[in-house]
Amino acid sequence: MMNRKELLEYGLSFPGTYQDAPFHDPNWQLVRVKKNKRAFLWTYERNRQLNINVKVNPEWRDFWREAFDAVIPGYHQNKEHWNTVIIDGSVPDEDVKRMIAESYDLVKDRH
C-alpha cells in the first residue's frame, strides 16, 4: 500500500508536473500539469484514511467502481469524470498507478 509521499512522487514522475497546495491547507496536496495547470492527482486525508481523486474516462469509471469497494464517485468533484480511491490496501498499487497514469493522460493535453 502506497503512502502519500509515494503517491505524490509517482504523480511527479510524469513529464511537466508540479505539486500544489491550492487551498492553503496542507491536507490537500495536488499534482498538476505545468502547461495547463490542470490537476490529475488529488491527495488528502478524510475519515482518518488517505484518499486520492483521479480523473477517469467515463467508459472506465464504473469498471473501477465495481472492481473495488474502495473506488467511489469523486469526493467534492464531478462524479461522472472523477473517482476517489480510498488507500486502504484493498486496491493493488499497480491498479492505483494505472488510474493515476490514466488521469494524467486525460488532462495533459487539455487547454
Question: Domain of 100: which CATH number?
Answer: 3.90.1150.30
Confidence band (pLDDT; 50, 70, 90) for 75? Answer: very high
3-state secondary structure 47-111: CCEEEEEEECCHHHHHHHHHHCCCEEECCCCCCCCEEEEECCCCCCHHHHHHHHHHHHHHHCCCC
Q: What is the pLDDT of residue 37?
A: 96
Which backbone phi and psi does 73 adopt, to 5 degrees? -55, 145
Which range marks the domain in which residue 70 is found? Answer: 4-107
Q: What is the pLDDT of residue 111?
A: 65
Q: What is the pLDDT of residue 45?
A: 97
CA distance 78 to 108: 18
Q: What is the pLDDT of residue 110?
A: 76
In the chain, how many domains are there?
1
pLDDT tens-place string over residues 20-73: 999 989 999 999 999 999 999 999 999 999 999 999 999 999 999 999 999 999
